[in-house]
Amino acid sequence: MTAPALRTTGLHKSFGSLVVAQDVAISLPQGARYALIGPNGAGKTTLINLITGALRPDSGEILLGEEAITALEPDSRVKRGLARTFQINTLFPDLSPLEAVTLAVCERLGVANVWWRRLVGFRDAVDEAYDILASLNIGAVCYRATRELAYGQQRLLEIALALATKPKVLLLDEPAAGVPRQQGGELFEAIANLSSDITVLFIEHDMEVVFRFASRVIVMVGGRLLVEGTSSEIAADQRVREVYLGRSRHG
Amino acid sequence: MLRAMTLCLGFLALLAGPTSGQAQQTIKIGVILPFSGQFADTGVQLDDGIKLYMQQHGDMVAGKKIEVIRKDVGGIAPEVAKRLAQELVVRDNVDILAGFALTPNALAAAEVSAQAKKFMVVMNAATSIITTKSPYLARTSVTVPQIDEAFGNWVAKSGVKTVYTLVSDYGPGLDAEASFQRAFEAAGGKVVGSVRVPVANPDFSAFVQRAKDANPEGIFIFVPGGTQPAAIGKALASRGITPKDTKIFGQGEITSEDALKSMGDDAVGIVTAFHYDYNHNSPMNREFVAAYNKAFGRNPDIYSIGGYDGMRLIYAALEKTGGKADGQDLIDAAKGMTWESPRGPMSIDPETRDVVQTVYIRRAEKVGEHVANVEFDKVENVKDPVKSRMPK
Amino acid sequence: MAGVADPHQYLAAKQRWAPIEVAFWLAMLLPFVLVPTYLPLASQIAITAIFAVSLDLILGYAGLVSLGHAAYFGLGAYTAGLIAKAGWGEPFSGLLIGGAAAGLFGHLTGYIVVRVRHLALIMITLGIGLLLYEVANRASWLTGGNDGLQGVAMWPLFGSFDFDLYGYTAYAYSLAVLFAVVLAARRLVHSPFGLSLRAIRENERRMPAIGAPSRARLRTIYTIAATIAGIGGALLAQTTQFVSLGALSFERSAELIVILVIGGTGRLYGGVVGAIVYMVARDRLSGMNPQYWYFWIGLMLIGVVLFLPNGILGGLATLLPRRSRAS
Amino acid sequence: MIAPAVGVLFDGFAYGMLLFLLSVGLSVTLGMMNFVNLAHGSFAMVGAYVAVSLMGLGWPFFATLPCAFLVAGVISVGFERTLFRRVYRASDLQQVLLTIGLAFISVAAAAWFYGTMQQPVRLPVYLRTYATFMGINFSIYRLFLIAVALAVTGLLVGALDYTRFGAQVRAAVDNQRMAQGLGVDVDTVFAITFALGSGLAGLGGALAIEIVGLDPNFTFTYLIYVLIVVAVGGLGSIRGSLLAAILLGVSDAAGKYYVPTLGAFLIYLVMVSLLLWRPSGLFGRR
């Protein structure tokens, strides 16, 4: 447990005169549970997009374990163990959850470009997909079309798809967004129960959830890192109070 | 399941359709033409020529009843033409294939004629080689080299030293370019430049300007009938090329009736060569034009005359064989046949089975209110020159 | 399937042969006995069906709308035609070479095509088609230009079956190739690769996040579809022994979309059913009314949109029990 | 050798203007409702046949133009209300199928009522002459065409930018749902826009006869060019359509003049490269 699981140095990104990330350096140790918080527009989702490759940084570097992945395509980063979920459901409406997760497993196994063998022939992949879905309590609905699933179930499917890639580092963009509080708690229990091999960074607005599930918290404001620390340090930090906690929670 | 099968069977029944019993006393003619799409007007005019001939001469020949089955090929679609020809032969049991406005379609169908030994009459398609594709095939329209070699020679003889050629970039256009240039240069003229215009994109102005830049004595133009003749006429005028200072020559399409109507006075002086125009001055033609107008409310054009003479050939051949519709008998009867058509004297070359006719040289002139093609010279008994040069 | 089966049974059920599929293929043999004089039409329907299945793979499954698919069809046709003209008239190898040539061109153009979406995609495929058309028109020394390619002489199929006037050989040959193409396509859409195509159609943005290189996938299917289109074109060249510019035309691409949408997209058999319905309707209507048949075709298209919004197969799927859905 | 080139480019410019009139309506309706209307050319054809029929009755050319505009607009809104609105929520392909079906019917109808022949048009003499300037001939008719197109553009842009209706249209093009939420009656706004766009196509059709002729196939003749203008210009953008139409008209003419061997290729090459560079068109947002 020496090298951090994920590290960025000096990430910088701007659109014209609008700077969305400025000198962002974070470091997530193996197996950590980090929360990323900050007011709206602080650049949290942008940071995830930069790390996963959906956006290209203007400068800076991203390391996954020992390896620099800054120049890699998003799908290659996923193959190396960096997975994410989306704040707004980004699923396959007409596929069943079983099909979707099986596909993700096949992608990981490198067999998703096989067109001359039937899907049913890949029994291990199907079993693995079903197990993931069952472990997230959506095994019972996994034969329906995704569009027919309840919203909370779709949020779980987001996570299931990410897990199917067997990530080393998992970036969750407001996994409980739009889910009633009660269910949100269950969802985070599921996240907390993930294997400790997986390093997790999640964006969340609900401070109770943050303080309960995160070992450390990173605060962003205006595209910069403001402060990083344990839950209690953050809760006590004056600057954080000023820029963040002082305002309405979902403002 | 059962329902699906019933559906399938019902569908096949529909496909089978009504199959009319083959009466011994009927001669069936399968007519393949473009009745829809971009060449629809060609198909309609040609078919009207066929209809008029049958109106005037009845549907009984040598004791047999003539029945025409029409098929729409929809445009340049040789595979459809070939299929229709096949189906006409095997399903409808036609004795004669006829029509064919477009060269690729005629070429594809000719294979069926050769294979099935059926008499085939090409009533418009004008590429030279068509008649070589089946020994049972005759043509009553025209070939492009027939017109343009005669014309190239005539233009050179008329004293014009230099021309620029502007043709559409497709089969007939290239044929026209080659034939005209060949004959014009053989007779001592000089081609100072040439340009080929895409068939699909009809703003001619830039091409016309190129021709003007070369400063020739005359310009030779070939474009397909339809919307393009009028467009090129207007482009010539707008780029300042008028027959007063640059002679404009072309195959007859560019001064077709509707082209002249929309060009108006701009067209006056354009010299063209063609085998037929509704203004051709003969009693027979005046009668033909009157009858055509009465039946269809418009003037006949080269397509109409192709269809009309095509039916004339079929009727005459059937008379000669006494109603026998065998391909070999009919083509033997057609070979060498000579008759007077509204277009003038014409015959079927016994060697090549192609049309032999007069090529008229016309000038667009003001006649009363309108501008019309006035014939002022002619080249008689013109054969298709390409086949005369072919090794036998 | 009332209760929740285990995942293997669920997936296996999705790709099992339905009785209606078997019945369908048996029915395709009926023209030999029921309407033997319609075999030339039947073989052209089979060829169009091959072409439509190939479009369905990119349009129905992967969601790429192409208005220039005739480019690959025509390229296959010209390649097969030119080989035969050059003296090698063996049909089967000609078919494969025609498909390979189209596939190669599809692979190369695929690099451009997968970069764009929506209207730009439609227009760029259209542009590629029109450019190839003009190239063929220009290269008349090779292609015969507007007159079409002459002198395509085929040897008998497997050395013993001549391409006859009645079209027995042509239909048997076309039907066999159609069957093989549908079998292959069927295998493909039920493979992991086929699943990834449907996923791209459903949500391309998600694909990189599950580690899928979607552009590479699209290039692969584009190449495969082009190959199949080329095989269809080669078949047309061989059975009619003629190739014309029409094989490459915009009209052919546009008509193909109409055929596929009538039949139903993303359903494997949609293209086949569409080809049968459209071409039979066209043949019947233009036989009855050579000059105005397309009026009725127009009415038919509007009727399909208003009353069968998912195409004929989509309509049947709601009528018949759910087994009939191919995917 | 400047003079001939100027004349050619002028003609190309005028041709571009014609393409603009024919396509601007499609661009706006496509941008606003995402409605793929391949029958757009049919409305242009309606306008053209209206003009020809009225001239046949002895009407002067100029009087037929507003009628072409009106009749095409009114007929189109009839179809919009009864037929098209049923498929706004359907997929693009369904819309393509429906409108192609309608285009087929319109071609058949034109052939039935007017026959398959070319419809000749006789313009008043003063439009058929040429103005000569610095030794270059300028067709009066093409000057007139340019004037009409520029006037239409001015009116459209002005109306869009400065009227309440224009603001509603812009809002609807930008984001239909949000406009609805803000109380814009998107339905009515769209119907009016649709009528306007088709009316302009009708006007374009009437003006096109002199340059390209008229037969029942008119509907399809210009389909490809209109689509190119719409795609290159960018959906929903009037300025984009104008620029694209000019670009295509002029580059086409220039290409034909300077490199005639490239002839038909050039316009497609220009389109493909522009779209690879800017997939949503010159002025496109999406």
Examine the pLDDT at B343 and tell me if it is beyond 50.
yes
**What integer pLDDT is reported at residue C281 of this predicted model?**
93
Mean pLDDT over D254-266 rounds to 81
B17 touches chain C (CB under 8 A): yes
Residues of the domain holding A116: 6-249
Nearest CA in chain D to B212: D4
Residue A1 falls within a domain, yes or no?
A: no
Amino acid at D274: L
* CATH number, position A239: 3.40.50.300
pLDDT along chain A (251 residues), means of 10: 84 88 91 90 90 92 91 92 92 94 94 92 93 90 92 92 93 88 83 88 88 90 89 85 60 38
According to DSSP H, which parts of D84-185 are helical?
92-114, 140-162, 164-174, 176-181
**What integer pLDDT is reported at residue A29 of this predicted model?**
92
Nearest CA in chain C to D101: C298
Nearest CA in chain D to C259: D97
* Nearest chain D Cα distance for residue C158, angstroms: 41
Residue B18 falls within a domain, yes or no?
A: no
pLDDT band at B185 (very low <50, low <70, confident <90, very high): very high
Residues of the domain holding B182: 145-274+358-388
- Is residue B81 within 8 Å of residue B339, measured between CB atoms? no
B123 and B257 share one domain = no
Secondary structure of residue A219 in the 3-state scheme: strand
- Of A82-96, B104-118, B225-239, the one with minimum mean pLDDT is B225-239
| Between C305 and D121, the higher pLDDT residue | C305
Note whether C292 contacts D111, CB cutoff 8 Å: yes
- Name the interface residues of C facing D (CB cutoff 8 Å): 59, 65, 112, 115-120, 122-124, 126-128, 130-131, 134, 137, 250, 254, 257-258, 261-262, 265, 291-292, 294-295, 297-302, 304-306, 309
Give me the residue label for tokens 């277009």.
B343
Which site among A87, A102, A118, A124 would you substitute to test the C interface, given the most C Cβ atoms closer than 10 Å to its Cβ? Answer: A118
**What integer pLDDT is reported at residue B22 of this predicted model?**
45
Residue B125 falls within a domain, yes or no?
A: yes
B159 and B202 share one domain = yes
The chain-wide mean pLDDT, for chain B, equals 88
Residue C163 falls within a domain, yes or no?
A: yes
B177 and B266 share one domain = yes
Which site among B205, B212, B265, B292 would you substitute to test the D interface, given the most D Cβ atoms closer than 10 Å to its Cβ? Answer: B205
Nearest CA in chain C to D225: C123
Residue C221 falls within a domain, yes or no?
A: yes
**Chains touching chain C, criterion 3+ CB pairs below 8 Å:** A, B, D
Residues of the domain holding C145: 35-249
B229 and B316 share one domain = no
Residue A187 falls within a domain, yes or no?
A: yes
Chain A positions touching C188 (Cβ under 8 A) are: 115-116
**What integer pLDDT is reported at residue C327 of this predicted model?**
40
pLDDT band at B23 (very low <50, low <70, confident <90, very high): very low
Backbone φ and ψ of C58, nearest 5°: -90, -35
* Nearest chain B Cα distance for residue D68, angstroms: 20
**Among candidates B95, B182, B180, B122, which has minimal Cα distance to B355?**
B122
Chain A positions touching C15 (Cβ under 8 A) are: 118-120
B46 and B132 share one domain = yes
Examine the pLDDT at D235 and tell me if it is beyond 90.
no
* Nearest chain B Cα distance for residue C237, angstroms: 8
**What integer pLDDT is reported at residue C326 of this predicted model?**
42
Note whether B103 contacts C145, CB cutoff 8 Å: no
Residue C201 falls within a domain, yes or no?
A: yes
Residue B7 falls within a domain, yes or no?
A: no
**Among candidates C68, C83, C46, which has minimal Cα distance to C243?**
C83
Which site among C113, C116, C301, C313 would you substitute to test the D interface, given the most D Cβ atoms closer than 10 Å to its Cβ? Answer: C301
B239 and B364 share one domain = yes
Transcribe B229-286 into DSSP letters: HHHHHHHHHHTT--TTTSEEEEEGGGG-HHHHHHHGGGGTT-EEEES--TT---HHHH
Backbone φ and ψ of A102, nearest 5°: -60, -40
Name the region of C200 (left: φ>0; alpha: ψ -120 to 50; beta: rest): alpha
Examine the pLDDT at D96 and tell me if it is beyond 90.
no
Examine the pLDDT at B13 and tell me if it is beyond 70.
no
State whether the Cα torsion A87-A92-A95-A100 is positive or negative: negative
Q: At what angle do helices B228-238 and B205-213 cross, to 10 degrees?
A: 50
Q: How many CB atoms lie within 10 A of CB C211?
A: 27
CA distance B25 to B66: 9
* Nearest chain A Cα distance for residue C221, angstroms: 10
Number of domains in chain B: 2
Q: What is the pTM of this model?
A: 0.90
Residue B260 falls within a domain, yes or no?
A: yes
**What integer pLDDT is reported at residue B375 of this predicted model?**
94
> Residues D29-63: pLDDT tens digits?
888 778 888 899 999 999 999 999 999 898 888 99
B380 and B266 share one domain = yes
Residue A145 falls within a domain, yes or no?
A: yes
Query: How many residue pairs from chains B and C have C-beta atoms closer than 8 A?
Result: 140
Greatest C-alpha distance within chain D: 59
**What integer pLDDT is reported at residue B254 of this predicted model?**
92
- Pairing relationship of beta strands A169-173 and A82-84 according to DSSP bridges: parallel
Residue B349 falls within a domain, yes or no?
A: yes
**What integer pLDDT is reported at residue A249 of this predicted model?**
46
State whether the Cα torsion B142-B145-B147-B150 is positive or negative: negative
- Name all domains of chain D by residue range, CATH numbers in brackets: 2-277 (1.10.3470)
Examine the pLDDT at B320 and tell me if it is beyond 60.
yes
CA distance D116 to C30: 40
The chain-wide mean pLDDT, for chain D, equals 87
Examine the pLDDT at B11 and tell me if it is beyond 60.
no
**What integer pLDDT is reported at residue D89 of this predicted model?**
82
Note whether A99 contacts C188, CB cutoff 8 Å: no
**What integer pLDDT is reported at residue D106 of this predicted model?**
94
Task: List the Cα angle B348/B352/B353 in 5-degree steps.
Answer: 35
Q: How many CB atoms lie within 10 A of CB C109?
A: 23
| Stretch 286-345 of chain B: residues touching chain D, C-beta under 8 Å | 298
> Residues D175-227: pLDDT tens digits?
777 788 877 888 888 888 899 999 999 999 999 888 888 888 888 888 888 99
B69 and B31 share one domain = yes
**What integer pLDDT is reported at residue A243 of this predicted model?**
75
* CATH number, position B127: 3.40.50.2300
Give me the residue label for tokens 């300025």.
D239
Chain D positions touching B238 (Cβ under 8 A) are: 11, 130, 137, 139, 142
Number of domains in chain A: 1
Structure tokens at B300: 């006949």
Note whether C131 contacts D272, CB cutoff 8 Å: yes
* Nearest chain C Cα distance for residue A146, angstroms: 11
pLDDT below 50 — which residues of chain C? 1-3, 323-327
| Between B23 and D51, the higher pLDDT residue | D51
Residue B6 falls within a domain, yes or no?
A: no
> Residues B197-208: pLDDT tens digits?
887 666 788 888
B313 and B245 share one domain = no
pLDDT band at B21 (very low <50, low <70, confident <90, very high): very low
> Residues B291-305: pLDDT tens digits?
999 999 999 999 999
B344 and B378 share one domain = no
Residue B5 falls within a domain, yes or no?
A: no
Residue C132 falls within a domain, yes or no?
A: yes
**What integer pLDDT is reported at residue B99 of this predicted model?**
94
B227 and B96 share one domain = no
C and D in touch (3+ CB pairs within 8 angstroms): yes
Distance, C-alpha B321 to centroid of its chain: 27
